[in-house]
Amino acid sequence: MTTTPTRRHHGLDLHGLDPAAVVMWHPSTSQLYEHAILRGDGRIAEGGPLAVDTGTFTGRSPRDKFVVVEPGSEDRIWWGEINHPLAEAEFERLRAKVVAHLDAQAPLYVVDAFAGADPAHRISVRVVTGSPYHALFSKTMFIEPDAVELETFAPQALVLHAPEVEAVPAEDGTRAGTFVVLHPTKSEVIVGGTFYAGEIKKSIFTVMNDRLPLEGVLPMHCSANVGEDGKVAVFFGLSGTGKTTLSADSTRSLIGDDEHGWGSNGVFNIEGGCYAKVIRLSAEAEPEIFRTTHTYGTVLENVRIDEHGVVDLDSDAKTENTRAAYKLEQIANALPAKRAGHPSAVVMLTADAFGILPPIARLTRDQALYYFLSGFTAKLAGTEIGVKEPQPTFSTCFGAPFLPQPPAVYAQLLGEKLDGHGSAVWLVNTGWTGGPYGEGHRMPIQATRRLLHAALSGELDRADYRADAVFGFDVPLRVPGVETSLLDPRSTWRDPHTYDVKAGELAELFRENFTRFADDAGTAVTAAGPQG
């Protein structure tokens, strides 16, 4: 549906916008394809996806993320290295620049959608942009309204997206030309200086991470699925830990792959699409996701395609962070409602490149909060200049860049949900075994899938366990279908003594990191971490 505006027809004047040219209101996928191609913003790859290049920025710019200091939210914001303060006057100055730019766009694209599949906790979102492929990304990633909902649509959150607009740090209070600014009380986001589409998605996730706790709902950086028995599992994890891959299980229905809320009615997807990392994606190991990369409607970011339009998922010529945005419905076993009951299992994924952690461990309630607040994974050697060995990464709540409020707020909510619903909690290492990165090998995905099946089916409830000498959590001794030696990482190392030394070093990193949370977490949770 498109219209040529009579002035004020679209209600954009409510946002201070006064577009001079055509406004594409709820443009179709085919229209956005056509406009992107005519502008030279993308190419159609074999199978039908739209392949685009995000320019200089191939990932988020966390150092350029700001939160407006304003009376309605100032006291609840977690100020610091995650949420950089920006004065309201500076926000208004930047906003005026963005509005002036958008008013001059021909055409201007408006996408109205929802965030949150649970009607009790959803918000209406409006994205305004001059870029057709970013409009398609927004249309793909959020939940589309039906015709009746569009008639009465009233936006509760607004994204003004102008990637061509750059800030002037000396006058705008920014660090550089790039800016992603949230005004919490207005639920407005302005984006400039970056074409990376993920900033749109994660900005609204940040809005939800601020709003949902005020409603007693836990927002989660996780994937989720549900079995035929109605048992729900959520999978917390940072990028590269297997959140998307492991939730796309053909024997279970997919609720979503990245952002969810856990409210009084159970788990619900915040999004309407998936945003999967696709570097070296395998048709054998991840057939469902692989198929989307060769499908009409998918947006491929920074994925190489040759002169014939053939997709090369193995190429990292542009970046390791190649991405595909696609509708959840492209996954054959996706759950149409995008919501289900309360989780019977909570899985925390970590890609331990040190080869120390077992492939699966059962956590107590206090251990669950400890590892949730820790949010551990490892950065691999070779991914950044100067990184010669794996480096530990602690991203609290498995999503620190998206938390406007202090971590203790989310940990308290998780504790309440675990107490209220008796969910089992598992720590799963999808990283290395047999030694660290460069010596050992990646945990076999078949073993990980088998262990998860055993955990989610209740099979591990009947297993025998050992208490890990260093980390304290329980590790199963035997699981049918899994090589027994994998369950004891120490036995897979050539030199057990070296394992002991490295395990002690990793435990000390955990303890040192947790000093930031000890006061808020309390004695019991702090004591639930590694002691050896």
Confidence bin at 509 (pLDDT 50/70/90): very high
Contacts of 386 (CB under 8 A, 6+ apart): none
Contact present, 121 and 263 (Cβ < 8 Å): yes
Range of the domain at 288: 275-330
Contact present, 360 and 427 (Cβ < 8 Å): yes
- Tell whether 96 is covered by a domain: yes
Could you give the angle at the alpha carbon of 142 between the alpha carbons of 138 and 147, nearest 5°?
Answer: 100
For residue 260, indicate whether it is catalytic.
no
Co-location of 100 and 120 in the same domain = yes
- Count other C-beta atoms under 10 Å from residue 148's C-beta: 8
- Local structure of 323: helix, strand or coil: strand
Helix (H) / strand (E) element for 233: namely strand 232-236
The whole-number pLDDT of residue 4 equals 40
For residue 244, indicate whether it is catalytic.
yes
- Tell whether 56 is covered by a domain: no
Q: Which among 305, 330, 355 is the end of a domain?
A: 330
Whole-model pTM above 0.75? Answer: yes
Q: Among 208, 336, 342, 207, which residue's Cα sits nearest to residue 263?
A: 342
The whole-number pLDDT of residue 98 equals 98
Confidence bin at 302 (pLDDT 50/70/90): very high
The whole-number pLDDT of residue 142 equals 98
Active-site entry in 10, 161, 183, 243: 243
Active-site entry in 129, 174, 203, 244: 244
Per-residue pLDDT of 147-203, as tens digits, reads: 999 999 999 999 999 999 999 999 999 999 999 999 999 999 999 999 999 999 999
Residue 272 clears pLDDT 50, i.e. is over it: yes
Per-residue pLDDT of 121-155, as tens digits, reads: 999 999 999 999 999 999 999 999 999 999 999 99
Contact present, 202 and 189 (Cβ < 8 Å): no
Percent of the chain whose pLDDT exceeds 90: 90
DSSP H stretches of helix in 39-142: 88-103, 132-141
Co-location of 346 and 326 in the same domain = no
The whole-number pLDDT of residue 11 equals 83
For residue 252, indicate whether it is catalytic.
no
- Tell whether 238 is covered by a domain: no
Kindly state the average pLDDT of the residues 210-236: 97
Contact present, 335 and 250 (Cβ < 8 Å): no
The whole-number pLDDT of residue 380 equals 61
Co-location of 76 and 155 in the same domain = yes
Sign of the CA dihedral running 300, 305, 310, 316: negative
For residue 323, indicate whether it is catalytic.
yes
The whole-number pLDDT of residue 1 equals 41
Co-location of 354 and 499 in the same domain = yes
Active-site entry in 121, 323, 362, 450: 323
- Tell whether 4 is covered by a domain: no
Q: Which residue has the higher pLDDT, 391 or 373?
A: 373
Co-location of 285 and 354 in the same domain = no
Q: What are 311's two structure tokens? A: 């997709």
Kindly state the average pLDDT of the residues 503-522: 96
Active-site entry in 10, 26, 35, 60: 60
Per-residue pLDDT of 469-503, as tens digits, reads: 999 999 999 999 999 999 999 999 999 999 999 99
- Tell whether 248 is covered by a domain: no
Co-location of 161 and 305 in the same domain = no
DSSP H stretches of helix in 142-242: 147-151, 169-172, 198-211
CATH number at residue 326: 2.170.8.10
The whole-number pLDDT of residue 250 equals 87
Contacts of 113 (CB under 8 A, 6+ apart): 124, 125, 127, 138, 139, 142, 143, 144, 145, 272
Q: Among 495, 526, 46, which residue's Cα sits nearest to residue 304?
A: 46
Q: Which among 191, 215, 239 is the end of a domain?
A: 215
- Tell whether 481 is covered by a domain: yes
Co-location of 207 and 281 in the same domain = no
Active-site entry in 202, 304, 362, 450: 202
Co-location of 384 and 428 in the same domain = yes
Q: Among 364, 520, 355, which residue's Cα sits nearest to residue 441?
A: 355
Active-site entry in 29, 239, 315, 498: 239
- Tell whether 239 is covered by a domain: no
Contact present, 508 and 502 (Cβ < 8 Å): no
Q: What 8-state DSSP symbol labels residue 14? A: G
**Tokens 């491929």 label which residue?**
300
Q: Among 237, 270, 486, which residue's Cα sits nearest to residue 350?
A: 237
Active-site entry in 26, 211, 221, 294: 221
The whole-number pLDDT of residue 10 equals 60
Instruction: State the total domains in the chain.
Output: 3
Per-residue pLDDT of 308-330, as tens digits, reads: 999 999 999 999 999 999 999 99
Active-site entry in 258, 352, 468, 474: 258
CATH number at residue 464: 3.90.228.20
Cis peptide leading into residue 107 (ω within 30°): yes
Kindly state the average pLDDT of the residues 50-79: 96
The whole-number pLDDT of residue 516 equals 96
- Local structure of 345: helix, strand or coil: strand
Q: What are 466's two structure tokens? A: 């050992």
Co-location of 424 and 385 in the same domain = yes
For residue 243, indicate whether it is catalytic.
yes
Percent of the chain whose pLDDT exceeds 70: 96
Residue 528 clears pLDDT 80, i.e. is over it: yes
Residue 34 clears pLDDT 90, i.e. is over it: yes
The whole-number pLDDT of residue 433 equals 96
Co-location of 311 and 438 in the same domain = no
Distance CA 240, CA 245 (A): 9
- Tell whether 57 is covered by a domain: no
CATH number at residue 115: 3.40.449.10
Please report, to the nearest 10 degrees, the dihedral formed by the alpha carbons of residues 131, 129, 213, 233 taken in order. -30
Co-location of 408 and 361 in the same domain = yes
- Cα 320 to its chain centre, rounded Å, is 16
Q: Which among 215, 234, 256 is the end of a domain?
A: 215
Co-location of 168 and 280 in the same domain = no
Kindly state the average pLDDT of the residues 212-226: 97
The whole-number pLDDT of residue 229 equals 94
The whole-number pLDDT of residue 450 equals 97
Per-residue pLDDT of 413-468, as tens digits, reads: 999 999 999 999 999 999 999 999 989 999 999 999 999 999 999 999 999 999 99
